[in-house]
Amino acid sequence: MALIKKIKKLFYEISRIKSDNSETRLLLGAVLAKNVSSLKSFQEAEFKVFSQFGDDGIIQFLLNKLTFSNDKFIEFGVENYEEANTRFLLMHNNWQGLVIDGSQTNITYIKNDPIYWRHDLTAVYSFITVENINQILADNGFAGKVGILSIDIDGNDYWVWKAITVVDADVVIVEYNSIFGSERAITIPYKSDFSCMSAHYSGLYFGASLSALCELGNEKGYSLIGCNQAGNNAYFLKNSLLEGFQPMSPEEGFVKSRFRQARSQSGKLTFAGEVNRIKEITGLPVVNTRTSLIEAI
């Protein structure tokens, strides 16, 4: 328990550091990373350096438990990469990476960041679709085996993961929509130019349920091994690497999100709780991924 208290104290110190002091955050993150090897669960290991929630710690936990095929990662939906699942992995572990975002301004920002010359990072401007994702990955030298693939595009996540055929990742991190629950296998209908804020003013209508992603993962040879405590990222491990990890059902792994990012029609945060978040998008169309039929939320 003393170790856990130490980790939590350091996590608190990191959370108080201003975002522009990345060197200090990196230093404290390095201390935290040394302690994850003796931990037994995602929940104990979670800490935040550059990730939105505790995913930096989960990734370090996996680094200590697995033998990865290589030290390459892919992440898309990174915005300006100040907050991302793989930034600490890049800076602390010196992995090689590819990041993709649909904003030229964000990609220019990344290329002007000192991390771009200090590390082997490729930043690509592209709005990702089912039709272009494999070509983007292959054109930038990231076809084949990679250690981690992280998907967070607030929309077509399910369809894009399904479409990827040129990459063989050991671990896949995919954002799920907790509002869709743990039982139904559903996702938003595919639309190549989907934008969650354009699709519905609340910003809550996006992505896929955990069950839909688990079933897709099973088709691709992956098992769910856990979700972060925030209830937005699911971790899938290649079945050939499962030794030491217990596969989970969607019901076992599901974590309900409690962050309150819903917007009003005027674009302001409403801080809507669980019940009101569901009400906001009730009746909108979703695809049942088991039957391929359109249903309503």
User: If DSSP codes are grouped into helix, strand and coil, which group holds residue 14?
Assistant: helix
- Interval 207-242: pLDDT, tens: 999 999 999 999 999 999 999 999 999 999 999 999
* Type and span of the H or E element at 238: strand 233-238
Mean pLDDT for the stretch of residues 179-187:
96
Q: How confident is the model at residue 5 (pLDDT cuts 50, 70, 90)?
A: low
Mean pLDDT for the stretch of residues 172-198:
96
Position 246 scores a pLDDT of: 92
Position 4 scores a pLDDT of: 55
- Interval 36-57: pLDDT, tens: 878 888 888 999 999 999 999 9
- Interval 100-158: pLDDT, tens: 999 999 999 999 999 999 999 999 999 999 999 999 999 999 999 999 999 999 999 99
- Tell me the pLDDT of the chain averaged across its residues: 92
* φ, ψ at 226 (rounded to 5°): 155, 170
Given a cut of 90, whether residue 8 has pLDDT beyond it is: no
Q: How confident is the model at residue 67 (pLDDT cuts 50, 70, 90)?
A: very high
Given a cut of 80, whether residue 275 has pLDDT beyond it is: yes
Given a cut of 60, whether residue 1 has pLDDT beyond it is: no
Position 6 scores a pLDDT of: 62
User: If DSSP codes are grouped into helix, strand and coil, which group holds residue 118?
Assistant: helix
Given a cut of 60, whether residue 83 has pLDDT beyond it is: yes
DSSP 34-93: HHGGG--SHHHH-B-SSSSSSHHHHHHHHHHH---S-SEEEEE--TTSSS-SSHHHHHHH
- The answer to whether residues 95 and 147 touch, using CB atoms and an 8 Å cutoff, is yes
- The answer to whether residues 73 and 56 touch, using CB atoms and an 8 Å cutoff, is no
Whether pTM exceeds 0.85? yes
Given a cut of 80, whether residue 11 has pLDDT beyond it is: no
Given a cut of 80, whether residue 264 has pLDDT beyond it is: yes
Residue with tokens 């050991």: 170
